[in-house]
Structure 1
Amino acid sequence: MGKAYFGGEICLRSHIWLPLITGASLPSLAFAQVTAPATIIDEDDDAIEVNSSEIVVVAPRIRGQVEVPNQPVQTFDEEDIAAYGADSIADLIAAISPQTGSGRGRGSGRPVILVNGQRIASFRELHRIPPEAIRRMEVLPEEVALRFGYPANQRVLNMILKDNFASIMAAGEYNVPTRGGYDNYEAEGGVFKISGPRRYNFSAKLTETTMLTEAERRIRQSASGQPTVSGDPQPARYRSLADADSTLELNGTMTQGIGEGGLDGSITVNGAYTHQQTTSLSGLDTVMLTHNGDSEIRTLPDPLTTRSVIDTFEGGLGYNTMIGDWTFSTTADGSYTDTNTRTDRRRDTDGLVAAAADGSLAIDGALPTVPGAGVDVARNRALALATLTTLSGRPFRMPAGDANLTLNGGFDFNRTTSEDTRTDVGAFTLKRSDVSGGINLALPLTSRAEDFLGAIGDFTLNLGGGIDHLSDFGTLKNWNLGLTWNPTDKLSFQASYLVEDAAPSLSQLGAPNIVTYNVSVYDFTNATTSLVTVTTGGNPDLVKEKQRDIKLSATWQLPFLDRSNLIVEYFRNRSSDVTKAFPLLTPAIEAAFPGRVTRDAFGNLIAIDRRAVTYDEVSTSSMRWGFNISGKLGSDSASGSGGGGRPTRAAPPVRSEVPAPPGLSGGPPPTGGGGFDPSRFEAMRKSLCAPAGEGASPDLSAMPERMRERLVGADGKVDPEKLERMKQRVCSAEAPWAPGGFDPERFARLRQAVCTDGGSEPDLSKLPEPMLERLKGPDGQVDKARLAAMRERVCSSNGAPPQGAAPAGAAPAEKKQSGESSSGGGGSQRSGFGPPGGGRWNLSVYHTWRFVDRVRIAPGVPELDELAGDAISAGGVPRHSIEMEGGLFKNGYGLRLKGEWNAPAKVNGSGLPSSSDLRFGSTFILDARLFVDLGRMENLVAKAPFFKGARIALTADNLLDSRQKVTDENGLVPLAYQAAYRQPQGRVVGIDFRKMF
């Protein structure tokens, strides 16, 4: 008997039609009715002996899936992705950030990205790709990143692309805040194509954003609302809240398969250029005029302006192949960034004698001419190169299964050259090279599928470690230990412990020092708001950090909704010698870093050095838990292929399908409406079975890609023995799909036995013995989950076989959806989103509960409890926060909502009479997107064909126009914490239009 495990393949034997599916939709199943004894080759090339009059169902994994013991956080099929109405993969990832975000508190917010189960050199390779090109997408836990050479501080997002897809896209977007003040325009276009092992993507995007000033948000300049400087009637007009920005992005990527059908690997080349210009204002310049010993401050008419121009050149290279049974992958990503910052210099006119020697110029007269002070220029040139090579395979087999080993090595190089006219240092260069190596070993300890201690479930032990040698910091070490336990297919537990050294970045060490004037800062000591001079840049005295993290988690696949789950995660982080940006200037921070703060003789705050600092120790612990639920709206008969979630015994609805020859499954059907395409199979059969000359190989070009892959041997070439077995199966007149087919009478008797009403138990004695065996669990008893899945499959067809079932070999009636491609193997290309008459809804909610957040600035200094108000950040630390996203989509209309709520927080003052505690109110930011697929509107398209493949969307960021309110002990809002400072834009509404050609 063949393998029968609920995770990659099912083999059922019966005399009747039984589409029992676990985790994969019918297009990825192969059905064969055997009329004579035969041998079927399963997914692992194991022979399955099949007796006559039996039906074999084989459900292989989708090519490109990641085979790991960890259950996915969330999965998305084609229709789930279409329900988001996203214009690009970058927009799609932003929309699902609650699912892809990590609660570990390390690393960047973006997940590790895989394409077809393989690493990529850079996110640039796919961020402008249309989401319609994705066949399936899985979000996996952080621990999976270890298998691909990355640290376990980010979740993993695996995208499986279609085998055939082509599009030309043009889009435009306009956004404006309802409070006015600025405009944002975006225009982009691109071309993308997948043709089997080859794909390419070229795109361009232009973004223009105007400046938002303090005057446009009615920022108060003083407690009385009056100007603070003589001669400056509207100082807010000359200070910007949001910079003016202009950005041009050009990007191109090409991927080419190596060998026949790309079976020998692939190579990817990427290049990009970005040009960005920003402009900001930091207020008016001031001078002090002196006459006969009297002084008066006057303003000069020109605002102090900072202009930045950033040019970035980027390139990437990736190569993936098989070396025997091992997967070899290497990537290289490089960038060169040239940043030029020009800042108007303040005039050094303190004590300027405005009067002539005879005292003829009065102090209250017109301002004298003051020579321009010129411009300070800061330039930073950064070169970065990152390479990573991994070798992954199964070095040995244990009683519970194959061990998985990943070896990785890399070389990174960074060089930063900085110069600034405001310093006397001149040009200086910092550079760092990083040579790294690591190992990760996953050991299966118990296994239900292998029947080794399966009664306790599946246990997998994960061990790993690595070193980094930094040329400027010495050697950094890391190691990790993890355990995964799957007691059932629906329940998973994980525990991991990670220890890692970390070094400050070169920018934290060596960025040019920049002085910014007239920055509004709240002074906790005096309970006042001051305009101060702020210094930013690098700090060469920073040291390496030691991190120690624990994670415990549980994932439960909910039994009452398809592809829904509950996730609970606990994190505890301990770090010493932590590099951080300079914290909020509370009295405690000023006492810890007295050299960073400058006050005048009267105690007024006049300057702050905000370069990065080192904390002695940081300790945090939190719990993040949430759920993902989803479902369908109405009929979904045309839904795309691919299961949604880790294969389990829960079965999705029956889809129309026709018995297909073994090996021709694994993707959406070659006809638009569903079912086996006899003409395509016949073309493949002719090319495969045609006589070939001596020494010549048969033509495999008509064979589906996944079928060709199964013919490849350990050397990466077509195995003659496998090819011969395939030819015997396909070319034989006694093939399993010979005339015969579905037996309605046997199917009716089966339904009568298992489809009982009123809660009565089904009569399992009437089931064929092989089928009854398949329903039994490890204990020899009938597994209720398997029985429920079978009943759902059999009893949902209203007394009839699945629609389209017919004697094998009979051609089904073709029914192609409008706008659907007839190319097979990789899914369909639709001009619209989602199936006619079908729909999707989903809701994901995650709650973070912080238990501990303590900081010790230096040895001997009392710990700061951020949750109790000893904050080091400008908004305090809320104990609770909630992220959510959800929406629905049906008949071309979609609505998406995404929100984030943070509980109130507080920041303690010094306790002195002049100081005050601050309360930071709760925030709730809700974004909305309403979109319509115009290409689905048949009447509209008939009248105006231009709208075919078009979509229009209305957006609202911060729909509720929520802005955080900050108050002191008297209920007053300090000048530095006005709502417009906390959230300058407010509600921003927009409209975007996209056209797919």
Structure 2
Amino acid sequence: MTQTALLLLALAPTAAVQPAAEPTTAPQSAPQAVSPPSQQDEPTVVLPDVEVTATRRGVALGGQEPIVSYDTAQIQAFGATNIGELVTLLEAQTRSARGGSPVFLVNGRRISGFREIRGIPPEAIDRFDILPEETALSYGYSANQRVVNIVLKADFKSLTASVNVSRPEQGGRTTTASENNVLRIAGSDRWSLDINGTTSNTLFETERNIDRTASGVLFDGRGNVTGLKGVPRAGQVDPTNTGVDPALSALAGSTVYVAGVPGSAASGAPALSDFVSTAGVANASDLNAYRTLLPQNDQASIAGTYKHDLNDKVGLTLSGSIEDSSSFSYLGLPGVTLTLPSANPFSPFGDDVLLYRYVDRPDALTRQTDTRTIGLGTVFDGYLGDWRWTATGDYNRVVTDTSTGRGLDATALQAAITANDPTVNPFGDIGGRLSERARDTARSTAQTATGELVLNGRPFELPAGEVTSTFKVGAGYQSLDSESVRGGVAVDRSQSRNAGNVQANFDLPISNVERGVLSGIGDLSANLNLAYQELSDFGGVSSVGAGLNWSPVERLALSANYSDEGKAPTVQQLNDPTVATPNTPVFDFNTGRTVEITQITGGDPNLKAEDRRILKLGVNWQPVSDKDFRLNLAYTRTEADNEIAGFPAITPDLEAALPDRFVRDADGNLLSIDARPLNFFKREQQDVQWGFNFSRPFGKPDPSMAGRGPGGPGRGPGMVMGPGPGGPRGPGGPPGRMRGARGPGMQPGQGMFNLSLTHTWRVQDEVTIRDGLAPLDLLNGDSISGSGGQSRHEVQLQTGLFKNGLGAFVNANWRSGTRVNGDASGSPDLDFSGRTTVNLFAFADLTQRKAWVERFPILKGTRIGFGVQNIFDDRISVTSSDGATPINYQSDYLDPQGRVFRINLRKILF
């Protein structure tokens, strides 16, 4: 399907889609309790007063307490359009200690991929649990990702259409997105369809305050002339460099190394005296109109999922997606360097000179990137006796085409100038005498296919409880075929990788209060995990880990975990096609100037596997049993050998360590950088992360508002307790006592308030680039990124309110400032300010405005929202020690959008 067809389908008017008929609710003379629907019809039994211990539906394996858990009412306060947006809003809580993305489960079970649930509306969620990294081991994943377990309502159907339009306060760019979803959940069956489209127009540098006058570039639309030895660097003395022309220097009264071409030269041969007024002053063209800060982007996708239980023991899930995206950007004007002989009829100089000119042919320096992605996934899961098995398969194919302009070929023009052709004025219109160079092209086709079988069960029992175990065996295939043509030289690469892996995880109970085994120390369990991966192109990579989980008293959980993990480079890191991007602005610490260079990106086939050792200590505490308030604290220490990383920012230390990555001319001017990935010799990190999560309902309950929430016909905000489908014990594992309780839930007519805070304190972050070199302290003046050093402190605050259909959500982030030290040769220091961004989204669910809906029925299921991103328009300010701001560190360059306003219109039909 073409991108155009997908976009038309995604942006189609939602009014053309007719919802299924809603079930009719019988009138009642008085409010009555309504039993939540169940997947099985069960007879009503009247029992005497008894104490009942219930297992929550869809609980994840592993026995770990959630770091935070949100129910239906709390999720409403975020105002998210779908699960994809909800996960983005909760990014600070879902990412791991090392910043990794989470693993996703649905109802405590593995899924075929995030595409399976991305477009599901939040109204379909019963519970959203965020669990620690150790839970991932119980599902065959490594313990470097947190786990998000999404429990869906047992009966739900909806049709959702959403249109989002955003535009920066400064204008220049509008982004329009349409997200549409059809969902049906009926017990164990579920199917959904997502059709999405996004488009953003080009943002040019002229539409922002970008100043390139200090770039030091000699090219100009009219042109600049220098002697054959060019312009010496500041402080450089070359007695043989006599400048443009001694005669011009005599007229100007000092040596002239550069002179701007006068405007009159375009219409005829200039005189030497015409250059006196521009002697020592280079012409400077404003290229901002020919450079994009943000490219034109278009994206369209369609995804679908079907889930069905084949019988009472085996379930099947199928999912697939197609995505087409493209981007187009302008890289500036092409420049040509011409040698003008002294005998040329248009030259007033006594010596040969160099002429630097830009040519008004922006099409010769553009970049077009097109990416097409296909994904397929499947999950089979079921029970074999008391053992649960899950078989997953996944296939992805990504084809990327890149075309980059290389400027203009001046060979024919130079020949005419050298021949002193009187009809060719080098200062006049030369565009028609230049031909476009062959474009650099690159195509990469990446394919991955994986299959895994995971087995969960309880092989035997100890006095303190049953031992739970997880075994995984998997196989995978990766390939990357790349074709690139750079400077007329074609390079083809083809690399593939076969991988096999096994993993085992064991949870062993040591003490148990309920069983009376060592009850004086509380509940204590140990964990052991082993993993091995065999790679056809790298050999074996192994990982081992162990941990303790201890709950000395109720509502307090302590954990300690250690792992030693091996990681191989990806096929992309090894074999991405080599791409050269001209006119890339970078800050050169050696000269203290921003210069335009050719940046080379792609893969590096010489990368090594990295070895990472991680120690993590954690605390999770609920101080008061009847208050939904949890505190969490985690200390993480990481040591990595041969860490695989993207190319760092340019610093004197980096160039000294990697001189072969930098190309300079004889005068020391930076020409190009090889910015492909590399291995650091060693990296050491320590950080402490703490935070809390709090929520509570507010306001007086109003029983007359029961049933008017946005939960659809299937469910209100309550929770169904009962066994999960598909086995004797359900997917939640063995029942156990809850180590805490939630506060009182939101009642009809009440509102909900959420508040969470996370503070990350980085104690150590040091990188040794090469063996024998001193480590770079990223917290104290060193850097490996273009955005400065590493912030020592980072705080995320999230809070939301929701009541009677009206809600607001605030997301605030703060990072402390950093600095990058220069070196002893006099290169300047750079100071990066701290940054505080506050985002607000307010919304109104018109369904709960009863009077409005009765008067205008079309408002039923409608939600309107208004948001502001970066309310205070706070941006990073970068200042060098000489008081100047380098060109590529200007605020509008680092953050072209700043404050952005957003309008959202959403319609959901149940």
- Bucket of the pairwise TM-score, normalised by the shorter protein: 0.7 to 0.9
Contact 2:69 2:128 in 1 (8 A): yes
Contact 2:843 2:863 in 1 (8 A): yes
Which residue pairs with 1:80 in the alignment? 74
Structure 2: distance between partners of 1:513 and 1:713: 55
Aligned mate of 1:180, from 171, 179, 200: 171
Structure 1: distance between partners of 2:715 and 2:214: 72
Q: Deviations over 1:363-389 (max 9, x none)?
A: 323225111223222100111112222
Q: Deviations over 1:48-79 (max 9, x none)?
A: xxxxxx41242411221125332211001111
Which residue pairs with 1:679 in the alignment? none
Which residue pairs with 2:20 in the alignment? none
- Asked whether 1:62 is paired with 2:63, we answer no
Q: Find the residue that maps to 1:507 and give its secondary structure.
A: helix
How far the C-alpha of 1:135 sits from its partner, in A, is: 0.9
- Asked whether 1:882 is paired with 2:795, we answer yes
Structure 2: distance between partners of 1:91 and 1:385: 28
Q: Find the residue that maps to 1:466 and give its secondary structure.
A: strand
Which residue pairs with 2:621 in the alignment? 556
Which residue pairs with 2:533 in the alignment? 468
* 1:684-833 superposed matches below 5 A: none
Contact 1:30 1:58 in 2 (8 A): no
Which residue pairs with 1:164 in the alignment? 155
How far the C-alpha of 1:862 sits from its partner, in A, is: 1.1
Q: Find the residue that maps to 1:58 and give its secondary structure.
A: coil
How far the C-alpha of 1:709 sits from its partner, in A, is: 5.5
Larger RCO (CA within 8 A; separation ≥ 6): 1
Structure 1: distance between partners of 2:846 and 2:605: 57
Aligned mate of 1:895, from 792, 800, 808: 808
Structure 2: distance between partners of 1:480 and 1:640: 52
Q: Find the residue that maps to 1:173 and give its secondary structure.
A: strand
- Asked whether 1:355 is paired with 2:267, we answer no
Q: Deviations over 1:878-928 (max 9, x none)?
A: 111111211111111111011211101010111223x11111000112111
Q: Find the residue that maps to 2:84 and give its secondary structure.
A: helix
Contact 1:909 1:918 in 2 (8 A): yes
Structure 1, unaligned runs of 5 or more: 1-27, 35-53, 642-654, 656-666, 676-703, 717-776, 778-784, 797-833
Partner letter of residue 932 of structure 1?
A
Q: Deviations over 1:401-442 (max 9, x none)?
A: 111000011112110000111174532201111100010000
Which residue pairs with 1:140 in the alignment? 131
How far the C-alpha of 1:562 sits from its partner, in A, is: 2.1
Contact 1:576 1:616 in 2 (8 A): yes
Aligned mate of 1:866, from 778, 781, 784: 778
* 1:378-397 superposed matches below 5 A: 378-397=442-461
Aligned mate of 2:430, from 359, 367, 370: 367
How far the C-alpha of 1:233 sits from its partner, in A, is: 3.5
Which residue pairs with 1:244 in the alignment? 296
Partner letter of residue 942 of structure 1?
E
Contact 1:575 1:617 in 2 (8 A): yes
How far the C-alpha of 1:289 sits from its partner, in A, is: 2.5
How far the C-alpha of 1:607 sits from its partner, in A, is: 0.8
* 1:537-576 superposed matches below 5 A: 537-559=602-624, 562-576=627-641
CA RMSD in angstroms comes to 3.0
* 1:419-438 superposed matches below 5 A: 419-422=483-486, 424=489, 426-438=491-503
Structure 2: distance between partners of 1:640 and 1:471: 62
Aligned length: 782
Contact 1:869 1:906 in 2 (8 A): yes
Which residue pairs with 2:402 in the alignment? 341
Structure 2: distance between partners of 1:337 and 1:608: 27
Q: Find the residue that maps to 1:71 and give its secondary structure.
A: coil
Contact 2:221 2:359 in 1 (8 A): no
Contact 2:299 2:326 in 1 (8 A): yes
* 1:502-651 superposed matches below 5 A: 502-559=567-624, 562-636=627-701
Structure 2: distance between partners of 1:344 and 1:549: 45
Contact 1:918 1:969 in 2 (8 A): yes
More off after superposition, 538-547 vs 348-357: 348-357
Structure 2: distance between partners of 1:952 and 1:151: 41
Structure 1: distance between partners of 2:177 and 2:822: 44
How far the C-alpha of 1:30 sits from its partner, in A, is: 12
Q: Find the residue that maps to 1:585 and give its secondary structure.
A: coil
Structure 1: distance between partners of 2:404 and 2:514: 67
Q: Find the residue that maps to 2:486 and give its secondary structure.
A: coil
Structure 2: distance between partners of 1:835 and 1:877: 45
Q: Find the residue that maps to 1:355 and give its secondary structure.
A: helix
Contact 1:208 1:246 in 2 (8 A): yes
Q: Find the residue that maps to 2:49 and give its secondary structure.
A: strand
Q: Given the superposition, is the C-alpha separation of residues 986 and 871 from structure 1 closer, same or farther in structure 2, using an over 3 Å criterion?
A: same
Aligned mate of 1:298, from 345, 354, 357: 357
Aligned mate of 2:478, from 414, 421, 440: 414
Structure 1: distance between partners of 2:716 and 2:779: 57
Percent identity of paired positions between Structure 1 and Structure 2: 34
Aligned mate of 2:102, from 111, 117, 137: 111
Partner letter of residue 798 of structure 2?
E
How far the C-alpha of 1:214 sits from its partner, in A, is: 1.6
Structure 2, unaligned runs of 5 or more: 1-40, 223-283, 342-351, 732-736
Which residue pairs with 1:444 in the alignment? 509
How far the C-alpha of 1:212 sits from its partner, in A, is: 1.3
How far the C-alpha of 1:151 sits from its partner, in A, is: 0.6
Contact 1:324 1:714 in 2 (8 A): no
Partner letter of residue 474 of structure 1?
G
Q: Find the residue that maps to 2:92 and give its secondary structure.
A: helix
Structure 2: distance between partners of 1:714 and 1:894: 39
Structure 1: distance between partners of 2:773 and 2:716: 70
Q: Find the residue that maps to 1:301 and give its secondary structure.
A: coil
Partner letter of residue 177 of structure 1?
P
Which residue pairs with 1:215 in the alignment? 206
Q: Find the residue that maps to 2:552 and give its secondary structure.
A: strand
Structure 2: distance between partners of 1:416 and 1:907: 37
How far the C-alpha of 1:359 sits from its partner, in A, is: 4.4
Structure 2: distance between partners of 1:946 and 1:268: 35
Contact 1:182 1:209 in 2 (8 A): yes
Q: Deviations over 1:611-667 (max 9, x none)?
A: 1111110000010011111111113577999xxxxxxxxxxxxx9xxxxxxxxxxx9
Partner letter of residue 921 of structure 1?
S
Q: Given the superposition, is the C-alpha separation of residues 67 and 713 from structure 1 closer, same or farther in structure 2, using an over 3 Å criterion?
A: closer
Which residue pairs with 1:955 in the alignment? 867
Contact 2:126 2:717 in 1 (8 A): no
How far the C-alpha of 1:258 sits from its partner, in A, is: 2.2
Q: Find the residue that maps to 1:854 and give its secondary structure.
A: strand
* 1:193-232 superposed matches below 5 A: 193-223=184-214, 229-231=220-222
Q: Find the residue that maps to 1:84 and give its secondary structure.
A: coil
More off after superposition, 894-903 vs 970-979: 970-979
How far the C-alpha of 1:295 sits from its partner, in A, is: 2.2
Which residue pairs with 2:323 in the alignment? 274
Q: Deviations over 1:928-965 (max 9, x none)?
A: 11000011111211221111011011011112111100
Q: Find the residue that maps to 1:841 and give its secondary structure.
A: strand
Structure 2: distance between partners of 1:991 and 1:305: 32
Structure 2: distance between partners of 1:299 and 1:358: 21
Contact 1:354 1:363 in 2 (8 A): no
Partner letter of residue 55 of structure 2?
R
Contact 1:33 1:55 in 2 (8 A): no
